[in-house]
Amino acid sequence: MVYWESTRACDLVCRHCRADAVVNRDPCELTTAQVKKLFDEVKRFGDSHLVVTGGDPMKRTDLFELIEYAGGIGLTISLTPSGTTSITRQRIWKLKELGISTIALSFDGPTAEKHDKFRGVNGCFDQTYTVARWVNEAGIPLQINTTVTGETKDDLPDLYQLVRSFNASRWSLFFLIPVGRGASLGQINSEECERMLNWIYELSVVEKNIVIKTTEAPHYRRVILQRGGSLGSSSGIRDGNGIVFISHTGDIYPSGFLPVKAGNILNDSLVGVYRKSPIFTNLRDVSKLNGKCGVCEFRNVCGGSRARAYAESGDYMGSDNLCLYVPSNVTVKGNI
């Protein structure tokens, strides 16, 4: 999964924003030619999925040219636009023509009052709702993203019903990492997280049409195994291991939530950095994990959120404290 932050410009002022987005585009953003070279490099990974994110990608005037180029070299492309008037029905159909594989929209509240408060702009819920219907109309697979915080946790059942109403193919639950504006939001605690992950599992057993996944809560895989379920191809994928992020200026990170710079595509090979950078190779070596994550019997399939460990302790190889689980070889939680 290759995430490209196309811009930090966005008309929303979301309370959880990782990018701390601004109104205007940065003059230091990658140029059209530089982005095309980046896409050529992404193609070198082979079977990779390019996610164009932001800010709001619609703020880039060359967006459709770039998506057409990416499709022309055989990349699978997803887009995560903001729920603003920058995305129109005409533009949705243009994306359909260009072969976009998925469009992801965000809902962080089941009502306009709650969602708009979270996103910082009145009318955002209604606009996103309309865009979701346009995506359905165009026949483009739709993913709904939801941020899980202390504020949104109780709304998840109602949000699930909203996701179902859109015939979404995927519901992705982003467990808050306290970075950017999100540093001021309240997180759920480990007990709440454990209950929530079990609820998600039980929901996924009966839900046959929507894939429900978690982001920055890889210990959901442990819950699946404990409940007798089976893991798919995403087993073991986490920041820096199956994921790489490129910022709007070309900086290379293990993920958008883990701001540990490993290089820049203007000077370094993206493939080379991913495969050989000490930051990335350390992240992929679970024997180097610290704390309880380092001794956990589920570390190969989970590995904990490296972004949360870094945000909370400054050690991206440390423990993910959102996970309630005590490894079997640890008798007292306080020992680790």
- Of 87, 23, 86, the residue nearest 55 (C-alpha): 23
Asked whether 43 and 285 are in contact (CB, 8 A), the reply is no
pLDDT at 16 (0 to 100): 60
∠ Cα 260 261 265 (to 5°): 150
User: Would you report the helix, strand and coil content of the chain in percent, each value rounded to 5?
Assistant: 40, 15, 45
pLDDT at 336 (0 to 100): 47
Q: What is the dihedral of CA 294, 298, 304, 309, to 10 degrees?
A: -20
Domains recognised in the chain with CATH numbers: 2-271 (3.20.20.70)
CB crowding 88-106: b at 16 or more within 10 Å, else e: eeebbebbbebebbbbbbb
Neighbours of 161 (CB within 10 A): 9
Give Cβ neighbours of residue 274 (< 8 Å, ≥ 6 apart). Answer: 45, 244, 252, 280
H or E segment and range at residue 164: helix 156-165
pTM: 0.94
pLDDT tens for each residue of the chain, 336 residues long: 999 999 999 887 776 665 555 777 889 999 999 999 999 999 999 888 999 999 899 999 999 999 999 999 999 999 999 989 999 999 999 999 999 999 999 999 999 999 998 888 899 999 999 999 999 999 999 999 999 999 899 999 999 999 999 999 999 999 999 876 666 677 899 999 999 999 999 999 999 999 999 999 999 999 999 999 999 777 788 999 999 999 999 999 999 999 999 999 999 999 999 999 999 999 999 999 999 999 999 999 999 999 999 999 999 999 999 999 999 876 544 444
User: Residue 329 is encoded by which pair of tokens?
Assistant: 């070889």
Q: How many whole angstroms separate alpha carbon 42 and alpha carbon 172? A: 24
